[in-house]
Chain A
Amino acid sequence: MSDQELDRLFAAYRDAVPDPEPSPAFLPKLWEAIEARRTFRLRFQRASRLLITASGAIWLAMAMVLIIESTVSNSRPGPAIEYFLFHDLSNQKPVGRDVWKQLFAEAGFKNVAEDYLSFARTAIFTIR
């Protein structure tokens, strides 16, 4: 096949495949698609704005919770809160280290090691 034959083949192809006639519904369908995309874009913009606002509010709320929590935990260490809460809910009085030692002794545990964490005002008893 030569270049001239290829040119003739392309010309024949051009004649063989004429421009198809668009359907009468083409333009109405196009406008429907434009409207659908426009609506989607508007919804997406609204949703993104809402998301940005909500994430800002959530961030602010989380920051406040963290600040409050750090203030509380500075005054009372975590295990102490659980301890006091448990006793408060079960209407029991919180007891001190000496009472615990006495309770262990009465229960028959002779060898009980005590580690006192002064910074947390917490005692850990280990029965040996």
Chain B
Amino acid sequence: MLVDFADIEQARSGDDAAFSRVVSAYRKRIFGTIGRLIGRADDVEDVAQEVFLRLYYSLDQLRTPEVFEPWLYRLTVNAAYDYLRKQKRRSERPMADLSDQQVLLADAAEGTRRGNEERQKAGIAELVQELLAGVSEADRMLLILKEVEGLSLKELEAIYRVRENALKVRLFRARQRVIKAWSAAARCAPGSRGGSVTKEKLS
């Protein structure tokens, strides 16, 4: 927890200063999560505003401060879903572009060799986002929360309100789909150096 339970209790009972403390404590983390969930840095602040706005007006429904973080993550996931639904982002990012992204990644790797770390990072971000575009929105968010945000299965259980075993199955299938998408893209673009470059970069 990034804040005291007392702050959450006070915010819940209408203390605006306590609510500001809660927002200040969590905003950076929520910004990061939203950024990785929606994949568009420009719109992160707007989605984060919506998350905290929803938090303000739903705090009175929070049963206990102990479940605050899963509650906040649930609001974040829902706001990200709403945003993505509005943007119809997936239709704008077809899987067919994956090989191009691999080429970009290869270019990024060359940049790395020239000491351009930023380009390498951008390449990795692009690659992961394109790979994740191959799975459903729900699975993509689940994978990001588990594998990137580092949430535990217990936390995910509280956020999604589904059993741990069901989550494990969904995660396993989602991972398999990502691996398959990668293999398919590598086959489609035999000339691209994406596979070897990634191995090189990740080792």
In the complex, A12→B42 CA distance in Å?
22
Q: Is B62 an interface residue (CB 8 A)?
A: no
Instruction: Take A3-B175, A19-B29, A19-B32 as given contacts and tell me if A13 and B128 are in contact as well, using a CB distance cutoff of 8 Å.
Output: yes
Within 8 A of A (CB), among B102-127: 120-122, 124-125, 127
CB distance from A93 to the nearest CB of B (A): 73
In the complex, A34→B50 CA distance in Å?
10
Is B198's CB under 8 angstroms from A16's CB? no
Instruction: Take A5-B202, A9-B198 as given contacts and tell me if A20 and B31 are in contact as well, using a CB distance cutoff of 8 Å.
Output: yes
Is B28's CB under 8 angstroms from A21's CB? yes
CB distance from A117 to the nearest CB of B (A): 66
Is A13's CB under 8 angstroms from B124's CB? yes
Is B53's CB under 8 angstroms from A33's CB? yes
> How many B residues face the partner with a CB closer than 8 A?
43
Residues of A within 8 A of B158 (CB): none
CB distance from A25 to the nearest CB of B (A): 9
In the complex, A10→B140 CA distance in Å?
12
Contact with A along B3-46 (1 / 0, CB 8 A): 00000000000001000100110011101100110000100110
Instruction: Take A22-B31, A30-B52 as given contacts and tell me if A13 and B148 are in contact as well, using a CB distance cutoff of 8 Å.
Output: yes
Residue of B nearest to A14 (CB): B148
Q: What are 26 A-B interface contacts by the 8 Å CB criterion?
A: A1-B182, A1-B198, A2-B179, A3-B175, A5-B199, A7-B147, A8-B203, A10-B128, A10-B147, A12-B201, A12-B202, A13-B128, A13-B148, A14-B148, A15-B121, A17-B35, A19-B28, A20-B31, A20-B32, A23-B45, A26-B27, A26-B48, A29-B49, A31-B16, A33-B49, A37-B57
Chain A residues within 8 Å of B, Cβ to Cβ: 1-3, 5-10, 12-23, 26-27, 29-31, 33-34, 37
Chain B residues within 8 Å of A, Cβ to Cβ: 16, 20, 23-24, 27-29, 31-32, 35-36, 41, 44-45, 48-49, 52-53, 56-57, 120-122, 124-125, 127-128, 131, 143, 147-148, 150, 175, 178-179, 182-183, 195, 198-199, 201-203
